[in-house]
């Protein structure tokens, strides 16, 4: 069983590139070039330098003593919350902006839901002096005002998507339309391990720096590269893909993917994609997605804006089907409690996305000797309003 992408862009039965014919040349150009570019020494030099000097890598692997005492197991936090812009997303946008430059592109487009990927894209475009257009649903623009302000400060143009439910999937449709109309000068930066091949593989490779670092850091701290468990939350799946990547073939390392159950898996207000999802095609890739009987994509819900995506990346659909990873879903209430607990025990305010992963410690018992690495995907500054209102602080 392979957990890596095959020549045709599939993970087991999932993946591929289901795209309109007019998009074919754009995707083909990327597919033909991304591995070549990523292997060029000049690319690697610039990428590694920016990860170190601009993003602030390596991020610490922090032994969480008080959290470990409470749950009677050894817990390490991989501190992606300390990356520039406050989450792991910048690992990918740095990589893709360098690919765009190598392809001679002068303009970048992106879609964003909660605005975090839009901010990470606007950031690297400012860094490189490249024109940036971010598509965002009109509803999301209204509810994510601070991130809209950030993108504008960083010089991006934020274009509202006015069709359909006026959220993420409509913004994605607008971005695809733009790319079809501007195939020569424009690169489309997708923000997670989703979309047509080669995006899931390219994004996973850029995020794989997370598990590359975990291996080195754990060897120093525990005299072994391999923990017993790696835990990460899954929206589209990019931070989890990065944290799992170098462990996919280490069958002794248990992988736990955490999805948002919203108000409850069967409440009708959820984003527990693997459990509720059926096979279908979303954003150019065959995967598991939440859909009605007649195949209409269901609007997902989670208190965390970064997890309410109706699909998961094809790698994760494969990890679910093959049982290589265990999938656990966590409700809003469980995540919020776990988020507050990390503040109180460790002095770290986590993103609500990451708080879903933390809630696993209340769901599952680990052995005292287990070494558990949890990928803390982002910091909670963006979520303060939600925390304050929820706990009436
Ligand atoms: C966007 C985001 C996620 C979800 O995206 P993935 O691609 O699943 O990683 C998780 N955590 C944070 C902090 C995010 O900003």
Q: The domain that contains 242 carries what CATH number? A: 3.40.50.1100
At residue 61, the pLDDT reads 98
Using an 8 Å Cβ cutoff, are 336 and 352 in contact? yes
Task: Kindly provide the b/e burial profile for residues 12-38, where b requires at least 16 CB atoms within 10 angstroms of the residue's own CB.
Answer: bebbbbebeeebeebbeebbeebeebb
Q: Which residues pair with 256 in a beta bridge?
A: 231, 326
Pick from 80, 87, 110, 118 the residue to mutate for probing ligand 1's pocket: most ligand atoms within 8 Å of its CB.
Answer: 87
380: helix, strand or coil = coil
Residue 339: its H or E element: helix 332-346
Q: Please report which confidence band the pLDDT of residue 306 belongs to, taking 50, 70 and 90 as the band edges.
A: confident
Closest C-alpha to 312, from 334, 332, 286: 286
Distance 164 CA to ligand 1 centre (A): 24
Domain end call among 202, 225, 252: 202
Taking the CB of residue 359, how many other CB atoms lie within 10 A of it? Answer: 24
Query: Helix 145-153 vs helix 116-128: angle between axes, to the nearest 10 degrees?
Result: 10
CA–CA gap between residue 142 and residue 138 (Å, rounded) = 7
At residue 305, the pLDDT reads 86
Using an 8 Å Cβ cutoff, are 336 and 302 in contact? no
At residue 356, the pLDDT reads 98
The catalytic position among 80, 111, 174, 353 is: 111
At residue 329, the pLDDT reads 97
Distance 315 CA to ligand 1 centre (A): 16
Is 262 found in the same domain as 154? no
Supply 14's token pair: 């999932």
Give the pLDDT confidence of 15-25 residue by residue, as tens digits: 999 999 999 99
CA–CA gap between residue 85 and residue 177 (Å, rounded) = 28
Residue 321 maps to a domain:
yes
Domain that holds residue 19: 11-50+89-202
Using an 8 Å Cβ cutoff, are 113 and 300 in contact? no
Residue 79 maps to a domain:
yes
CA–CA gap between residue 248 and residue 22 (Å, rounded) = 35
- What mean pLDDT comes out for the span 168-181? 94
Residue 241 maps to a domain:
yes
The catalytic position among 68, 274, 285, 377 is: 377
Is 346 found in the same domain as 231? yes
Distance 21 CA to ligand 1 centre (A): 30
Q: Which residues pair with 286 in a beta bridge?
A: 15, 281
Dump the DSSP string for 159-216: EEE-STTSSHHHHHHHHHHHHHH-TTTEEE---SS-SSTTHHHHHHHHHTHHHHHHHH
The catalytic position among 89, 105, 169, 286 is: 89
Is 197 found in the same domain as 221? no
Residue 39 maps to a domain:
yes
Q: What is the mean pLDDT of the chain?
A: 96
Q: Please report which confidence band the pLDDT of residue 165 belongs to, taking 50, 70 and 90 as the band edges.
A: confident
Ligand 1 atom with the smallest distance to the CA of 81 is: 13
- What mean pLDDT comes out for the span 65-71? 98
Least confident of 136-150, 210-224, 345-359: 136-150
Residue having the nearest C-alpha atom to atom 4 of ligand 1: 235
Give the pLDDT confidence of 256-267 residue by residue, as tens digits: 999 999 999 999
Is 130 found in the same domain as 274? no
Calculate the CA 385 to chain-centre distance: 22
Give CA torsion, residues 111, 262, 10, 322, to 10 deg: 160
CA–CA gap between residue 362 and residue 351 (Å, rounded) = 18
Residue having the nearest C-alpha atom to atom 1 of ligand 1: 306
Q: Give catalytic status of residue 267 as yes or no.
A: no
CA–CA gap between residue 47 and residue 91 (Å, rounded) = 9
Is 358 found in the same domain as 312? yes
Domain end call among 155, 179, 202: 202
Residue 6 maps to a domain:
no
Q: Which residues pair with 161 in a beta bridge?
A: 137
Ligand 1 atom with the smallest distance to the CA of 207 is: 9
Phi, psi (rounded to 5 degrees) for 305: -65, -25
Give the pLDDT confidence of 101-115 residue by residue, as tens digits: 999 999 999 999 999
Pick from 119, 120, 304, 377 the residue to mutate for probing ligand 1's pocket: most ligand atoms within 8 Å of its CB.
Answer: 377
Is 163 found in the same domain as 284? no
Supply 348's token pair: 């770290």
Q: Give catalytic status of residue 111 as yes or no.
A: yes
Name all residues whose Cβ lies below 6 A of ligand 1.
Answer: 87, 89, 116, 192, 233-239, 306-307, 351, 353-354, 377-378
Is 233 found in the same domain as 114? no
Residue 185 maps to a domain:
yes
- What mean pLDDT comes out for the span 165-178? 91
Is 248 found in the same domain as 295? yes
Domain end call among 176, 202, 228: 202
Residue 310 has pLDDT above 90, yes or no: no
Is 369 found in the same domain as 293? yes
Q: Give catalytic status of residue 29 as yes or no.
A: no
Is 226 found in the same domain as 197? no
Residue 247 maps to a domain:
yes
What Å distances lie between residue 77 and 218, 220, 323, 382, CA to CA? 11, 15, 24, 20
Give the pLDDT confidence of 116-138 residue by residue, as tens digits: 999 999 999 999 999 999 999 99
Is 297 found in the same domain as 152? no
Ligand 1 atom with the smallest distance to the CA of 238 is: 7
Is 263 found in the same domain as 316? yes
Residue 159 maps to a domain:
yes
Using an 8 Å Cβ cutoff, are 324 and 255 in contact? yes
Q: How many domains does the chain have?
A: 2
Taking the CB of residue 255, how many other CB atoms lie within 10 A of it? Answer: 21
């Amino acid at each position: 069983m392979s957990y890596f992408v095959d020549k045709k862009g599939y993970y087991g039965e999932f993946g591929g590139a289901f795209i309109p014919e007019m998009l074919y040349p754009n995707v083909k150009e990327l597919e033909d070039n991304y591995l070549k570019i990523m292997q060029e020494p000049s690319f690697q030099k610039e990428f590694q330098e920016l990860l170190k000097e601009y993003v602030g890598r390596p991020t610490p692997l922090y032994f969480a003593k008080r959290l470990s005492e409470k749950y009677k197991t050894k817990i390490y936090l991989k501190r992606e919350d300390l990356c520039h812009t406050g989450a792991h997303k910048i690992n990918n946008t740095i990589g893709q902006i360098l690919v765009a430059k190598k392809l001679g592109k002068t303009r970048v487009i992106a879609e964003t839901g909660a605005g975090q990927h839009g901010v990470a894209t606007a950031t690297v475009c400012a860094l490189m002096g490249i024109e940036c257009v971010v598509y965002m649903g009109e509803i999301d623009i209204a509810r994510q005002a601070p991130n809209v302000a950030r993108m504008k400060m960083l010089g991006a143009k934020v274009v509202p998507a006015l069709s359909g439910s006026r959220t993420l999937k409509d913004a994605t449709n607008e971005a695809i339309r733009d790319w079809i109309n501007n195939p020569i000068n424009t690169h489309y930066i997708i923000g997670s391990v989703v979309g047509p091949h080669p995006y899931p593989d390219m994004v996973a490779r850029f995020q794989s720096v997370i598990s590359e670092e975990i291996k080195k850091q754990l060897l120093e701290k525990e005299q072994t590269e391999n923990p017993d468990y790696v835990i990460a939350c899954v929206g589209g799946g990019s931070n989890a893909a990065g944290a799992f990547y170098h462990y996919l073939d280490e069958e002794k390392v248990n992988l736990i993917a955490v999805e948002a159950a919203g108000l409850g898996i069967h409440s009708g207000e959820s984003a527990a994609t693997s459990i509720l999802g059926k096979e279908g095609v979303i954003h150019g890739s065959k995967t598991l997605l939440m859909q009605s009987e007649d195949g209409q994509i269901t609007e997902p819900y989670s208190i965390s804006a970064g997890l309410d995506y109706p699909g998961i990346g094809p790698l994760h659909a494969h990890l679910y089907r093959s049982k290589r990873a265990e999938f656990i879903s966590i409700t809003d209430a469980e995540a919020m409690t776990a988020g507050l607990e990390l503040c109180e025990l460790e002095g770290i305010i986590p993103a609500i996305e990451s708080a879903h992963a933390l809630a696993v410690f209340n769901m599952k018992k680990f052995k005292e000797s287990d070494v558990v690495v949890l990928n803390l995907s982002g910091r909670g500054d963006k979520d303060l309003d939600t925390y304050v209102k929820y706990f009436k602080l």
